[in-house]
Amino acid sequence: MPLPIRIRANADETRTRILEKAEELFRRLGFAKTAVADIAAELGMSPANVYRFFASKNALVEAICEQHLARIHAELMRIARANDPVVDRLERFALSIIRYHKANFLTERRLHDIVLVAMEHSWESITQHKEALATLIESILRSGVDSGEVGPAVDPRQAARIILGCLTRFCHPMVIQQHVDDDLEAEAQATIRFLGRALQ
Amino acid sequence: MPLPIRIRANADETRTRILEKAEELFRRLGFAKTAVADIAAELGMSPANVYRFFASKNALVEAICEQHLARIHAELMRIARANDPVVDRLERFALSIIRYHKANFLTERRLHDIVLVAMEHSWESITQHKEALATLIESILRSGVDSGEVGPAVDPRQAARIILGCLTRFCHPMVIQQHVDDDLEAEAQATIRFLGRALQ
């Protein structure tokens, strides 16, 4: 029997509040130093209540990771569907990923641990996310085949996966972390313009 | 006053023996579990003697890292100077890096720690190495401009750096480690063929 709507809404709210508080504490104290008991205490609830929603600290990281991936995906989908030239959309696609990283992960050294934990425990979500990114790039290329911007010799499916691989330097959290001082946005723009030549 | 040749030769030999033994133990026991005293004991010398050559375990990792980078560089230089078509040389360049990783690092899970330590402590060597790789790719592209394989609109210096960035997925130790199950060689070949189109 499904739960009455009001109880389910409360459960969703509680889940969201736990996730927000967990992310806040991971950012403030670091992943290793944050206990589930700390998260519960700050929310004025029992640890048992947190565990009703998330079986472990790793499960919290997975849920936070999935939330971030969903946000990035929503933004990239808007870019892919816009009515702009192919190369412009690819450029905005790459810049949007770099800026998301800068805004959310690069400012805090502490977050690096969480990214590592997420990469270890949410590998399936990350693999699905990469597949979703490849599919979005593929849709950009297909619209370019229709408009004549992408040459007939290009296989949109294969080219999309190659382009995503070429953007590893700008998308992979560990790699970006090592290059915070580089002008990644300018490099990404030059890379997209270069790749655009291969699409003709 | 320079040391007499025989003493210097002995010092070089000792240095090499220490490095070989250190790498062997790091691979066998892991970086964290290997002490300088273990390396000294296996060589039948005092820890003080090891410290005469290497001030710390990190200094050993740096020297091992530099040795590997020098070996990779020597092989890539042979490929860059060969008298083959540009795209063939770029392909062998990428495959050679992937195969070196497979042969030396990917077989042993333990080695991952050492790569992380090396990336943290030998950042300067690694930056120099990347610059050297970019210069080798640039030399391949320049020979292609001369032969007409690379179009006049391509700036060899900039294109070389873009291509190296696009190969991050196949060159970066941490990224490769996450993709051991993928067919990286086939992906690298497809990527180089795609990039080759941008060079025309």
The nearest alpha carbon in chain A to B179 belongs to A127
Dump pLDDT digits (tens) for A52-88.
Answer: 999 999 899 889 888 889 999 999 999 999 999 999 9
Domain with CATH 1.10.357.10 in chain B: 57-198
CATH topology of domain A1-54: Arc Repressor Mutant, subunit A (1.10.10)
The residue in chain B having the minimum alpha-carbon distance to the alpha carbon of residue A198 is: B198
CA distance B200 to B196: 7
Q: Does B95 touch chain A (CB under 8 A)?
A: no
Q: Determine the distance in angstroms separating the CA of B154 from the nearest CA of chain A, rounded to an integer.
A: 9
Please report the pLDDT score of residue A108 as a whole number: 62
Which pLDDT band, with edges at 50, 70 and 90, does A117 fall under? Answer: confident
Q: What is the pTM of this model?
A: 0.89
Mean pLDDT (chain B) is: 90
What was the ipTM of the complex prediction? 0.88
Q: Where in chain B is the domain with CATH 1.10.10.60?
A: 1-54
Asked if the C-beta of A195 comes within 8 angstroms of chain B's C-beta atoms, the answer is yes
- The answer to whether B58 and B122 have CB atoms below 8 angstroms apart is no
For the cut 90, the answer to whether the pLDDT of residue A112 exceeds it is: no
Is the Cβ–Cβ distance between B61 and B121 less than 8 Å? yes
Q: Based on the number of CB atoms within 10 Å of its own CB, is A145 exposed (0-12), middle (13-18) or buried (19 or more)?
A: middle
**Residue B73 CB: number of other CB atoms within 10 A?**
15
Residues of A with CB below 8 A from B196's CB?
A: 198
CA distance A89 to A83: 9
pLDDT reported for residue B107: 61
**Alpha-carbon span B71 to B55, nearest angstrom:** 24
Burial of B74 (0-12, 13-18, 19+ CB in 10 A): exposed
B162 touches chain A (CB under 8 A): yes
Name the burial class of residue A158, with classes exposed (0-12), middle (13-18) and buried (19+) by CB atoms within 10 angstroms of its CB.
middle
Interface test with A, best of B124, B169, B179 (most A CBs within 10 A): B169
- Counting as low any pLDDT under 70, the low residues of chain B are 1-9, 106-112
Please tell me if residue A162 touches chain B, with a CB cutoff of 8 Å: yes
Residues in B touching A190 (Cβ below 8 Å)? 158, 162
Would the pLDDT of A125 be above 70? Answer: yes
Q: What is the CATH number of domain B57-198?
A: 1.10.357.10
Q: Which of B170, B182, B181 is nearest to A166 (CA)?
A: B170
